[in-house]
């Protein structure tokens, strides 16, 4: 039975992940996995490096992001410091483009304790 990580943080998730892309790919390959997702917190900073290294190693890269969603009062009401997590995975190039837009928009317009 095969296994694929769909929620994984790298060094681009400050204080939550530490693995470098080359070490991630080496570990995934050693464990016989054929695919892996990277879902760093609120960003896609490592996406290109991850994609290239995974492809070179014959591993299917699944591009993703762990997004933060503001609490029920919305992002403008600062009385509720709640940021729920939502894992977003790109199914294709359009999905990857959408993730890039969301990550950029989060940093520019949606910063609510986290991007």
Tell me the CB-side half-sphere exposure of residue 87, using CA atoms within 13 A.
12
Which pLDDT tens digit goes with each residue over 67-88?
A: 988 766 665 666 766 678 899 9
Domains for the chain: give ranges and CATH numbers. Answer: 21-108 (3.20.20.140)
Find how far residue 25's CA is from the centre of its chain: 15
Give just the sign of the alpha carbon dihedral 16, 103, 113, 83.
negative
Which of the two residues, 111 and 4, has the higher pLDDT score? 4
Which pLDDT tens digit goes with each residue over 25-37?
A: 999 999 999 999 9
Tell me the mean pLDDT in the region 44-66: 97
Q: Strands 35-38 and 83-89, how do they pair?
A: unpaired
Percent of the chain scoring above 90 in pLDDT: 67
């Amino acid at each position: 039975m095969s296994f694929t990580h769909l929620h994984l943080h790298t060094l681009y998730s400050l204080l939550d992940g530490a693995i470098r892309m080359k070490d991630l790919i080496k570990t995934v390959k050693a464990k016989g996995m054929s695919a892996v997702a990277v879902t760093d917190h609120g960003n896609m900073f490592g996406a290109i490096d991850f994609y290239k290294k995974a492809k070179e190693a014959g591993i299917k890269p699944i591009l993703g992001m762990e997004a933060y969603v503001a609490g029920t009062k919305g992002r403008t009401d600062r009385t509720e410091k709640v940021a729920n997590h939502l894992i977003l995975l790109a199914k294709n190039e359009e999905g990857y483009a959408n993730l890039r837009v969301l990550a950029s928009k989060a940093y520019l317009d949606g910063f609510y304790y986290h991007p």
